[in-house]
Structure 1
Amino acid sequence: MLIVRAARTSDIDDLVRLAGEAGTGFTSLAVPADVLAERLEKSEAAFRAPDPGQTEDTYQLMLEDTETGRIVGCSAIKAMVGVSKPYWDFKIITLAQHSSEADRRFDMDAMLLVNDFAGSSEVGTLFVSEAGRGTGAGRLVAQSRYLMIAADRSRFGDRVLAELRGVVKEDGSSPFFDAVSRPFFRMDFDDADRLSAATDNQFILDLGPQHLIYLDLLPQEVRDVIGKPHEQGEGAYNLLLWEGFHYDRYVDIFDGGPLVSTWTENVRTLRESREVTVKAASGPGNAEGILSTDRFPDFRTCQVSAIGDGDVLGVSNDIMQALDLREGDKARFWRRKR
């Protein structure tokens, strides 16, 4: 059985291993082991904090195979971005060009460095190892984040965003970075990626472009990858669109990957989920979906085949044990529609 649960400090070895498997361009995991360890410590404290309201904490989630105890994936939610640490992106805007004398009228696209998402929550760090793929694990991890937001809306912003990895070649180079960002930052892609993940991003304000960057001045191969997700992220991108996120021409400043966003209340999994009371039951289920504990600090979810379609939901003893639920406990259920 696969469960998604709140991360613990003891998960550090597994998180370091997953970071190594994720490879180049996975910004949120492109940090040293001590930074990942600190992240787990802060996440564990954030989960235990009683009703803190919205903070800048990051809640780390781990995907665990309960039969082997092996961690096969991870994800996270940053409760608030862009406040003490600016959340820089390029916004693509369209400029109208017109001259009566030259008899010319056309539009030109340009990129501008912005911090438009201050106060929003960010879902990210979604990664599933080879051992966990092909089982619906990626979808479970992704949707679990929205069930966690539903468990305590006061901890999260009115908008939620996701930034996807952009196109990176097999040799680890980024066409977008080489043409757009490298001239400003004068460092390799990996160095910029790590610095962005591990610092307050003041270096972006210090060194980043202060003026518009016209897309028509870029090589065609670079324009072709702007706003495009990495091939390994296409599934995640499509799932975000299914959840109600949309691309509004914001892109990552290093690899040109797309940023998508939506109002938190419009996220499909959150909107369609409901509170239920659980009881132990056996037999074939008639309701497939995801069940969460709907509580902090011991947040957990797993896929279930439940019995019932009202306010009371019957689940197996194995599910009750895996989620640490008792007869009569409140939980949250998202039902998969056929």
Structure 2
Amino acid sequence: MSFRLRAARPDDLEHLYEMAKLTGGGFTNLPADRKALAAKLERARAAFARRDGELGDDQFVLVLENTETGQVRGTCQMFSQVGQQLPFYSYRLNTLTQHSQELDRTVRAELLSLTTDLEGSAEVGGLFLHPGERAGGLGLLLARSRYLFIAMHRSRFADRLLAELRGVIDDRGGSPFWDGVAGRFFGMSFQEADYFNAINGNQFIADLMPKHPVYVAMLQEEARQVIGVPHPSGRAAMRMLENEGLAFEGYVDIFDGGPSMTARTDNVKSVRDATPARVGPTDLDLGERALIATGELDSFRCAYGMREVLEDGTLAIDTVCAAALEVDTGDEVWSVAR
């Protein structure tokens, strides 16, 4: 069985909708709403169609396709720079230190401050793998294919990269962080706010959220415990991001308190190490396991394969990968070690 990532098309709508219904909530970039998903696919179509190579306000959507059946079994997204149409809000966890000479006492208080520090960053997100395919390294293929796409279209992405991880969701589908912080001001449940944000954007946060810092010590214990903590299903994703060089620097999601990971785009391992080459032989039997990609924008394709750099600088790859990528001798591919 062979899988590849490819650019999403408008006719992938039903595939995305069926997967969106499986997310369990808290997945802003993949709402279970056909109209919102259709708008994302149209925005992606326009981004793929633009060929000027300039940094813009783009959203790219990729899908994981079974090359034997044509089934779509996963998806991921990339944003060229966030916060261009509406402000991009985060909470920043920081510390305020105060000292009293009379008491000879120093007090350090943790604060959550509403900020737009991450505005203008590129973002990788919207990653979802069908529950029936969560084996064989397909999650890694989904995640790292985005970095190959960025490397191959570097001028289309900002110099700072952001990844938001879903925060802790309780058994009721609610968020302890939302209940302890923003929910107190909005009169909306987490599910209602999250869905509204996914469909309409987060301008209502700017309209209604108090701008003064929140003292963490004044929050309920349930809310304090989940600040900067990923959803249990996202722990592996956090490790993958750390392996790529992204780090948690105190920024958390304003809805569920999940961690936001950041790095300089050119320092991300799979962006930095991705290299182009021309395809040589396509019948390699044994070589280094790698992610291999080809194509520009809407013709982008990425799959696992075996590679070997030959003395003439060409790249020998295996037959299965060559078929999945639809490449032959002389075609250009980009690759990075698995």
Q: TM-score range by the shorter chain?
A: over 0.9
Match of 2:324 among 322, 325, 335: 322
Deviation, structure 1 residue 198: 2.1
CA distance in structure 2 between the aligned counterparts of 1:52 and 1:35, rounded to whole angstroms: 27
Q: Which residue of 2 aligns with 1:55?
A: 56
- Is the contact made by 2:168 and 2:175 (CA closer than 8 Å) also made in structure 1? yes
Residues 158-307 of structure 1: matches in 2 within 5 Å? 158-293=159-294, 295-307=296-308
Residues 2-21 of structure 1: matches in 2 within 5 Å? 2-21=3-22
User: Which moves more between the two structures, 252-261 or 316-325?
Assistant: 316-325
Deviation, structure 1 residue 51: 2.2
- Is the contact made by 2:284 and 2:307 (CA closer than 8 Å) also made in structure 1? no
Change (3 A) 1:279 1:309: closer
Residue type matched to 1:293 in 2?
T
Q: Which residue of 1 aligns with 2:77?
A: 76
User: Which moves more between the two structures, 164-173 or 283-292?
Assistant: 283-292
CA distance in structure 2 between the aligned counterparts of 1:90 and 1:282, rounded to whole angstroms: 51
RMSD value over aligned CA atoms?
A: 1.4
Superposed CA deviations along residues 16-43 of structure 1, whole A, max 9, x for unmatched, are: 0110011111121125111101211221
- Is the contact made by 1:97 and 1:106 (CA closer than 8 Å) also made in structure 2? yes
SS in structure 2 of the partner of residue 44 of structure 1: helix
CA distance in structure 2 between the aligned counterparts of 1:113 and 1:83, rounded to whole angstroms: 18
Q: Provide the TM-score with structure 2 as the length reference.
A: 0.96
CA distance in structure 2 between the aligned counterparts of 1:244 and 1:307, rounded to whole angstroms: 26
Q: How many residues align?
A: 336
SS in structure 1 of the partner of residue 11 of structure 2: helix
CA distance in structure 1 between the aligned counterparts of 2:228 and 2:85, rounded to whole angstroms: 26
- Give the gaps of 5 or more residues in structure 1: none
Superposed CA deviations along residues 31-89 of structure 1, whole A, max 9, x for unmatched, are: 51111012112212211211241111110010111112111110000111022211101
Superposed CA deviations along residues 91-131 of structure 1, whole A, max 9, x for unmatched, are: 11110021111221021110111111121100000110112
1:39 maps to 2:40:
yes
CA distance in structure 2 between the aligned counterparts of 1:113 and 1:199, rounded to whole angstroms: 20
- State the identity %: 39
Deviation, structure 1 residue 294: 5.0
Superposed CA deviations along residues 138-175 of structure 1, whole A, max 9, x for unmatched, are: 00010000100011111000001011100001210111
CA distance in structure 2 between the aligned counterparts of 1:280 and 1:13, rounded to whole angstroms: 38
- Is the contact made by 2:109 and 2:217 (CA closer than 8 Å) also made in structure 1? yes
Residue type matched to 2:52 in 1?
D
Deviation, structure 1 residue 321: 2.8
Residue type matched to 2:316 in 1?
G
- Is the contact made by 2:305 and 2:320 (CA closer than 8 Å) also made in structure 1? no
Q: Which residue of 1 aligns with 2:65?
A: 64
Deviation, structure 1 residue 309: 5.4
- Is the contact made by 1:280 and 1:317 (CA closer than 8 Å) also made in structure 2? no
Q: Which residue of 1 aligns with 2:334?
A: 332
- Is the contact made by 1:90 and 1:251 (CA closer than 8 Å) also made in structure 2? yes
Q: Which residue of 2 aligns with 1:146?
A: 147
Deviation, structure 1 residue 276: 1.0
Residue type matched to 2:317 in 1?
V
SS in structure 2 of the partner of residue 193 of structure 1: helix
SS in structure 2 of the partner of residue 297 of structure 1: helix
- Give the gaps of 5 or more residues in structure 2: none
SS in structure 2 of the partner of residue 307 of structure 1: strand
CA distance in structure 2 between the aligned counterparts of 1:217 and 1:309, rounded to whole angstroms: 62
SS in structure 2 of the partner of residue 69 of structure 1: coil
